[in-house]
Amino acid sequence: MLKCRTVWKKLAPLARASSTVCRQNVRRAGLTNGRIPIRVPTAHMSTGPAGGGGDNLKYALLVGLAGIGGLTYAVKTLRGDQKRYEERIAEIESRPHKATKGPVTDVQTAAPAAEASETDAVPEPELEAAPSPEEPSPPAENAAPDAEAVAHDAEAAPSSKTTEPPPADEPVVEASPEEAAAPAAVPVVEEVDSTPASAKVPSHAPYLLIGGGTASFAAARSIRARDPGAKVLIVTDEPDLPYMRPPLSKELWFSDDPSVTETLRFKQWNGKERSIYFQPPSFYIKPEDFDSAENGGVAVLTCRKVVHMDVRGNKVKLDDNIEISYDKCLVATGGIPRNLQVIERAGEEVKKRTTLFRKIEDFKSLEKVSRNINSITIIGGGFLGSELACALGRRSTESGLEVIQMFPEKGNMGKVLPEYLSNWTTEKVKREGVKVITESLVKSVTYKDDKLEIHLKDGRLVKTDHIVAAVGLEPNIDLAKSAGLEVDSDFGGYRVNAELQARSNIWVAGDAACFYDIRLGRRRVEHHDHAVVSGRLAGENMTGANKPYWHQSMFWSDLGPDVGYEAIGIVDSSLPTVGVFAKATAKDTPKAATEQSGTGIRSESETEDTATSPVASATPPPVVEHKDDYGKGVIFYLRDKVVVGIILWNVFNRMPIARKIIKDGEEHADLNEVAKLFNIHED
């Protein structure tokens, strides 16, 4: 049918073209013969016979040529379109299983329930398991969910029955009988394999937490505290129990213990050691004991990914096709590190020498790599990039490792700190042994002579052995489609309300949550303390609290032992800032702060030792020597004259005051007066 239309479309202009040409020929003939209407008796023409005739001739020729030109173009375009269309159809047809899926699923919806459960299971995983969203014929996509619903209604049997061939076996089958035969054979094998596995996995979890990171653990704890005997199931695609991320780019690198990559324990400044795992394995209950646990508990299913979420049916499906139903669900899927496009396109040799840093395994591999190479380059000037650069820079003094850091901004933390402070920080980072290349954009990366060559857009060339790309986080919203969850286009992540709820019975917390902050507006925050605060809040709301996000989370960063800061709220260098500084004494360093409080994680030190009332101390600090030495102080970030963010620069244990100021949301006429509340000259 479409072919006909195209043919007609092709023919029509040709027909028109030919007719116009005919007409034009007639006209020209008419011109020479003088029989065309233009050549009317001069009495009717406004212009003289000779001039009128000449102009008309030119006019006719112009129109004719334009007409021919236009028509030629039209024909060419249509031909090109025709060609492209045919190519597209050929491509689609070369994907036979998609084309046959339409009729297959239609047949299956009509088939008896028992059969339906087996055969329609095939299109199901194929649709979901297919990594790239190919263009399926619309009937296939619409039919599959219906078929699924039919299967689930009809079938009360345990989910292990619907196990299908894993994606690897995705049959590229043409004929439907073959397709029906394949699943019939394979599930038999699969069932044998999967039965022991499915016996371990609970089929129902009153509280299901997707993702095994900080937010998830905080929620688990909150739920267990508030709902006596609660049974909480955490499903994570990592092999590890929940752990905290900040030491992976800080404390673990400073450890003297050669087996640190195994133990993952770090010594805090005060000598107290702890593991990065929130709790040892004995804290959790085994998935096998989940159903029978009298007082409930938290169970963790590792190495399992939730690939599909059925919101109407209140259940999820794992990558091994096991289904788990839930009463309340938390989505805390975090994100995956972004990569540079130029590296993605650069080929295998470059990619295998590039680290995207986020998990324990990344820490382990980078730690190993850094021992065996001469030069490493970190691309990215934000928190992670700068912290890793400093950590590796420290090592460079012992091992002779060359550490380079490059980024497009003018200085480290250029998007967070005001320019003067960013510049100051960059100097400090350089003093940690890092070669900082500012204002650099990577044009391409090649592998040559056993070295990586990074070509910058301004022509500079950097040769290195390994690259760490720390260029941001892509929030993981894989479940948005199947669950029907809204995704935020400004900040990324799942869109949730002020109470972190996405839909009934579904909450989102942590890096993946784009939530409404009553004070500061809609935002998405990628910090450890926010994961804790939002995870706790989600857990509270999952147990009926109905509280909005109110307790503002904070974050911190240490760039070596001399530069550390804590921050809260919206800390964006594009906002106008007011910084109030004093001179730092030897007592004002991150090292000192944690030594005092006895903790390594800054958000914890808040509770240990909050500032005393602002009373002048007996011994005054040393006199200010260099005015431009930003030793310690407080920086206010303003939006419409209201403080929306505060950085405590080398000033510690004052976070409650900062939190209060942001919570108030007042316009303060003189921020120096507000700065007085922080007592920056004291310890």
Partner 1 sequence: MSSVREEGKDTIIFVTKEDHETPSSAELVDEDPNDPYEERGLILPSGEINWNCPCLGGMASGPCGTEFKDAFSCFHYSKEEVKGSDCLEQFRTMQECLQRYPELYPQEEETSSSQTSQDFASAEPSGLNSTAASEQDPDTTLPSTESSAES
- Of 338 and 551, nearer to partner 1 (C-beta) is 551
Tokens 């850094």, residue?
370
Q: Which of 600, 620, 596, 631 lies closest to 610, judged by CA?
A: 596
Minimum CB separation of residue 589 from partner 1 in Å reads 19
Among 13, 31, 169, 283, which residue sits at the site for partner 1 (rule: CB under 8 A)? 283
Q: Assess 654 for contact with partner 1 (CB under 8 A).
A: no
Minimum CB separation of residue 207 from partner 1 in Å reads 12
Is the Cβ–Cβ distance between 208 and 329 less than 8 Å?
A: yes
Minimum CB separation of residue 203 from partner 1 in Å reads 23
Which window, 115-123, 276-284, 464-472, 585-593, contacts partner 1 (CB under 8 A)? 276-284
Residues in Cβ contact with 664 at an 8 Å cutoff, skipping those fewer than 6 apart: none
Q: Pinpoint the alpha helices (H) of 94-137.
A: 96-110, 113-119, 123-129
Residues 341 to 400 in contact with partner 1, rule: CB under 8 A: none
Which window, 39-47, 189-197, 220-228, 441-449, contacts partner 1 (CB under 8 A)? 220-228
The most distant pair of C-alpha atoms in the chain lies apart, rounded to whole Å, by: 117
Q: Assess 429 for contact with partner 1 (CB under 8 A).
A: no
Minimum CB separation of residue 157 from partner 1 in Å reads 34
Query: How many Å apart are CA 147 and CA 117, to the nearest integer?
Result: 9
Q: Assess 274 for contact with partner 1 (CB under 8 A).
A: yes
Among 450, 458, 625, 670, which residue sits at the site for partner 1 (rule: CB under 8 A)? 670
Is the Cβ–Cβ distance between 581 and 633 less than 8 Å?
A: yes
Minimum CB separation of residue 637 from partner 1 in Å reads 10
- Of 266 and 357, nearer to partner 1 (C-beta) is 266
Among 151, 220, 307, 454, which residue sits at the site for partner 1 (rule: CB under 8 A)? 220
Residues 24 to 63 in contact with partner 1, rule: CB under 8 A: none
Which 3 state secondary structure label does DSSP give 356?
Answer: strand
Token reading at 531: 């994961």
Q: Which of 171, 85, 101, 177 lies closest to 136, judged by CA?
A: 101
Minimum CB separation of residue 388 from partner 1 in Å reads 21
Give strand pairing partners of 645.
569, 637
Residues 617 to 646 in contact with partner 1, rule: CB under 8 A: 620-621, 624, 627
Q: Assess 466 for contact with partner 1 (CB under 8 A).
A: no
Q: Please count the helices (runs of H) and the strands (runs of E) in the chain.
A: 20, 28
Residues 564 to 583 in contact with partner 1, rule: CB under 8 A: 575-582
Minimum CB separation of residue 341 from partner 1 in Å reads 32
Among 42, 295, 374, 497, which residue sits at the site for partner 1 (rule: CB under 8 A)? 295
Q: Give the DSSP letter of residue 487.
A: B
Which window, 106-114, 120-128, 214-222, 302-310, contacts partner 1 (CB under 8 A)? 214-222
Token reading at 359: 């998990």
Element (H, E) at 221: helix 214-226
Token reading at 131: 């990594």
Which 3 state secondary structure label does DSSP give 614?
Answer: coil
Q: Give the DSSP letter of residue 277.
A: B
Phi, psi of 459 (to 5 degrees): 105, -15
Residue 6, classified by CB atoms within 10 Å of its CB into exposed (0-12), middle (13-18) or buried (19+), is middle
Is the Cβ–Cβ distance between 474 and 336 less than 8 Å?
A: yes
- Of 244 and 483, nearer to partner 1 (C-beta) is 244
Q: Assess 297 for contact with partner 1 (CB under 8 A).
A: yes
Which window, 101-109, 117-125, 128-136, 292-300, contacts partner 1 (CB under 8 A)? 292-300
Query: How many Å apart are CA 454 and CA 452, to the nearest integer?
Result: 6
Q: Assess 298 for contact with partner 1 (CB under 8 A).
A: yes
- Of 27 and 536, nearer to partner 1 (C-beta) is 536
- Total residues at interface with partner 1 (CB under 8 A): 78
Among 78, 463, 676, 683, which residue sits at the site for partner 1 (rule: CB under 8 A)? 676
Kindly write out the interface string for residues 591-610 of this chain, putting x where it contacts partner 1 by CB under 8 A and - elsewhere: --------x-x-xx-xx--x
Minimum CB separation of residue 565 from partner 1 in Å reads 16
- Of 219 and 477, nearer to partner 1 (C-beta) is 219
Which 3 state secondary structure label does DSSP give 668?
Answer: coil
Tokens 């980024």, residue?
407
Q: Where are the beta strands (DSSP E) in 605-673?
A: 632-639, 642-649
Residues in Cβ contact with 326 at an 8 Å cutoff, skipping those fewer than 6 apart: 204, 205, 206, 207, 208, 314, 315, 316, 505
Among 420, 441, 490, 641, which residue sits at the site for partner 1 (rule: CB under 8 A)? 420
User: What's the number of CA atoms in the CB half-sphere (13 Å) around residue 566?
Assistant: 26
- Of 32 and 617, nearer to partner 1 (C-beta) is 617
Among 254, 278, 447, 516, which residue sits at the site for partner 1 (rule: CB under 8 A)? 278
Kindly write out the interface string for residues 506-545 of this chain, putting x where it contacts partner 1 by CB under 8 A and - elsewhere: -----------------------x--xx--x--xx-----
Minimum CB separation of residue 600 from partner 1 in Å reads 8
Among 8, 59, 85, 550, which residue sits at the site for partner 1 (rule: CB under 8 A)? 550
